[in-house]
């Protein structure tokens, strides 16, 4: 599955449909003077993902990976990428690196600080650590050029569709998943979870 959401950004991934819910595993390819991949997909979907990725850019021309989260649905295809591009820089939080370095000891992990910025070619990124979001290694990435927030699991809901242009989903569907997603996505050990949960409930 692939589709464009902007001039520079192509979505790659997979949507799984089940009788009672649907969900998506998505990565994002930014193409320009440099080429940057944000996240990957689960390992089981890795071969198809790699084939789609190569349709858009040769791996030799992929300049960097930004990894928002170490969980398998975000990092599962990382091994396949590294088998072809062991040298590629992987930008992530220190906690994300800590979770993955034992599996990929020779990978070129580069830690990014909270609220730090990064320029890759003409692309500009800003990183915000979100340790209360689901796991303690999470961050979100803001793409300055097109004002896109790659929000990781922050707004995750069981409403996957491809392409995601459906505008007729009843609000009751969102309300049904509210409590489950809030509980799952807000890290249970984070000291601000109660406040974050209240903000989430109020926002939706």
Summarised one tens digit per residue, pLDDT across range 92-137 is 999 999 999 999 999 999 999 999 999 999 999 999 998 877 788 9
Domain definitions of the chain by residue range:
2-164
For helices 193-203 and 171-185, give the axis angle rounded to 10 degrees.
170
We find that the CATH architecture of domain 2-164 is 4-Layer Sandwich (3.60)
CA 44, 100, 142, 64 torsion: positive or negative? Answer: negative
Tokens representing 156 are 């995750």
Worst-scoring range by mean pLDDT, 70-74, 81-85, 156-160?
Answer: 156-160
Tokens representing 171 are 């609000």
174 membership: H or E segment, kind and range: helix 171-185
Q: What mean pLDDT is reported for the chain? A: 84
Mean pLDDT computed over 151-162: 68
CA distance 104 to 112: 18
Residue 2 forms beta bridges with which residues? 12
- At 133 the pLDDT is 75
Residue 192 scores a pLDDT above 80: no
Pairing of strands 2-4, 139-143: unpaired
Tokens representing 199 are 């903000």
Residue 200 scores a pLDDT above 50: no
- At 35 the pLDDT is 99
- At 195 the pLDDT is 47
Q: When comparing pLDDT for 4 and 121, which is higher?
A: 121
Summarised one tens digit per residue, pLDDT across range 54-71 is 999 999 999 999 999 999
CA distance 99 to 103: 8
- Quick count: other Cβ atoms within 10 Å of Cβ 68? 27
CA distance 116 to 195: 25
- At 184 the pLDDT is 59
Q: For residue 152, what pLDDT band results from cuts at 50, 70 and 90?
A: confident
Helices marked H in the chain — which ranges? 46-56, 72-75, 78-84, 94-100, 171-185, 193-203
Mean pLDDT computed over 177-184: 59
């Amino acid at each position: 599955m692939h589709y464009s959401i902007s001039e520079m950004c192509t979505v790659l991934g997979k949507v799984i449909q089940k009788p009672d819910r649907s969900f998506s595993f998505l990565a994002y390819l930014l193409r320009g003077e440099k080429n940057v991949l944000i996240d990957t997909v689960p390992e089981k979907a890795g071969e198809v993902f790699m084939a789609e990725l190569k349709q858009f850019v040769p791996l030799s021309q992929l300049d960097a990976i930004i990894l928002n989260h170490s969980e398998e649905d975000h990092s599962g295809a990382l091994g396949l990428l590294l088998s072809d591009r062991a040298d590629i820089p992987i930008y992530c939080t220190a906690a994300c690196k800590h979770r993955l370095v034992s599996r990929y000891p020779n990978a070129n992990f580069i830690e990014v600080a909270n609220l730090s910025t990064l320029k890759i070619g003409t692309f500009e990124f800003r990183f915000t650590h979100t340790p209360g979001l689901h796991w303690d290694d999470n961050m979100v990435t803001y793409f300055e050029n097109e004002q896109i927030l790659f929000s990781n699991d922050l707004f995750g809901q069981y409403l996957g569709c491809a392409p995601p242009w459906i505008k007729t989903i009843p609000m009751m569907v969102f309300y049904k998943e509210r409590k489950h997603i809030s509980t799952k996505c807000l890290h249970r050990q984070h000291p601000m979870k109660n406040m974050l949960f209240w903000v989430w409930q109020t926002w939706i």
